[in-house]
A and B are shown apart, each in its own frame.
Chain A
Amino acid sequence: DAGVTQSPTHLIKTRGQQVTLRCSPKSGHDTVSWYQQALGQGPQFIFQYYEEEERQRGNFPDRFSGHQFPNYSSELNVNALLLGDSALYLCASSLGHQGETQYFGPGTRLLVL
């Protein structure tokens, strides 16, 4: 049973660039949530996708956007990168979008120079 997978594992970008991160949910799951974890901090909720729509959003600017595909996989896009966007980006999947248990992927480590 495949768990949550994310790609790439590491990424280096420069300020002002754009980045796309990808996530495939655990088999049978239909909801994907994205979190940002800065060094030494707990994960912060970015947004959640269900039925290809953004259902809930945390306190992140519009530079952060996403998409969910019909096969439930998801992308996180960040435009106009800032140094402060350097973090571990975690994807979590669940069956359902109303409080069900979330299972996390290994994350993508983004470094912005």
Chain B
Amino acid sequence: AQSVTQPDIHITVSEGASLELRCNYSYGATPYLFWYVQSPGQGLQLLLKYFSGDTLVQGIKGFEAEFKRSQSSFNLRKPSVHWSDAAEYFCAVGAGLTGGGNKLTFGTGTQLKVEL
């Protein structure tokens, strides 16, 4: 069974500082990995995804993530955080094109607070 762990429930950073949100996954085959962001009372917006190929993927809003198979990790990074980045961030794993359907398994999320 697939699972996702986001070890940090809350993170506070100063505006302009760098950011790294951690994500560890468990899946038997090559996973599809996603990061979504959710503002209060809103749905989920896709930030970036990894299916295959280059292990460093670029997303929207200046975010990037690196897939490390040896560490079963897919950490999200941003070099300089803006106050508007304050939100909840979810990492998710999918079964990909292995006949596993579209089911996404999400972590419990990391709440990001940005101090001005």
User: Which listed segment binds B: A12-20, A37-45, A66-74, A77-85?
Assistant: A37-45
Would B90 and A99 count as touching, CB distance under 8 A? no
Quick check: is B112 within 8 A (CB to CB) of the other chain? no
Distance (whole angstroms) from the CB of A71 to the closest CB of chain B: 19
Would A99 and B107 count as touching, CB distance under 8 A? no
Q: Chain B, interface size: which category?
A: 20 to 34
Would B43 and A56 count as touching, CB distance under 8 A? no
Select from chain B the residue with minimum beta-carbon distance to A58.
B103
Would A99 and B100 count as touching, CB distance under 8 A? yes
Q: Chain A, interface size: which category?
A: 20 to 34
Distance (whole angstroms) from the CB of A95 to the closest CB of chain B: 11
Q: Which of A92, A102, A106 contacts B42 (CB under 8 A)?
A: A106
Would B45 and A104 count as touching, CB distance under 8 A? yes
The CA-CA distance from A45 to B49 in the complex, in Å, is 18
Would A107 and B103 count as touching, CB distance under 8 A? no
Closest 3 CB pairs of A and B: A42-B106, A56-B101, A104-B44
A-B contacts besides A41-B108, A45-B104, 10 pairs, CB < 8 Å: A43-B44, A92-B102, A97-B101, A98-B97, A98-B101, A99-B95, A99-B102, A104-B46, A106-B42, A106-B43
Task: Write the residues of chain B forming the contact surface with A, with a CB cutoff of 8 angstroms.
Answer: 4, 32, 34, 36, 41-46, 49, 90, 92, 94-109
